[in-house]
């Protein structure tokens, strides 16, 4: 590796990081959650309120509107998706 440029390229994908968010709505029937979230660096998204599909609908159990959560997002089949959700 000596002599190799190991700096990330401009097009390199950033690793998903947990983002603080507030639950605004839960739709268990469709497996979606609406979150007011901070910036999602790995997807190039600014802070906003938006509905997202969840990778595993079981993540929605025990959540209610107003809960403060830590959400990790990634692109799944071309869609911004919640891949991890912790209260």
pLDDT, tens only, 45-69: 999 999 999 999 999 999 999 999 9
Q: Which residue ranges of the chain lie beneath pLDDT 50? A: 1, 4, 6-10
What was the pLDDT predicted at 2?
A: 58
Question: How far is Cα 39 from Cα 46, in angstroms, rounded to an integer?
Answer: 4
Q: State which CATH number among 3.30.1330.200, 1.10.10.10, 2.40.50.320, 1.10.274.10 fits the domain covering 19-86.
A: 2.40.50.320
Rg of the chain on CA atoms, in Å:
15
pLDDT at 9: 47
Q: What is the pLDDT of residue 3?
A: 55
Q: Catalogue the E-assigned strands of the chain.
A: 19-27, 32-37, 48-53, 68-76, 79-86
Q: How far apart are CA 62 and CA 70, in angstroms?
A: 14
Q: What is the pLDDT of residue 78?
A: 95
């Amino acid at each position: 590796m000596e002599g190799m440029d190991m700096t990330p390229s401009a097009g390199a994908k950033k690793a998903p990081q947990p983002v603080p968010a507030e639950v605004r709505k839960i739709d268990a029937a469709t497996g979606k959650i609406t979150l007011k979230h901070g910036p999602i660096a790995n997807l190039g998204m600014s802070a906003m309120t938006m509905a997202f599909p969840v990778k595993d609908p079981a993540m929605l159990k025990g959540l209610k509107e107003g809960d403060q959560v830590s959400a990790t997002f990634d692109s799944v089949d071309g869609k911004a998706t919640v891949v991890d959700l912790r209260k």
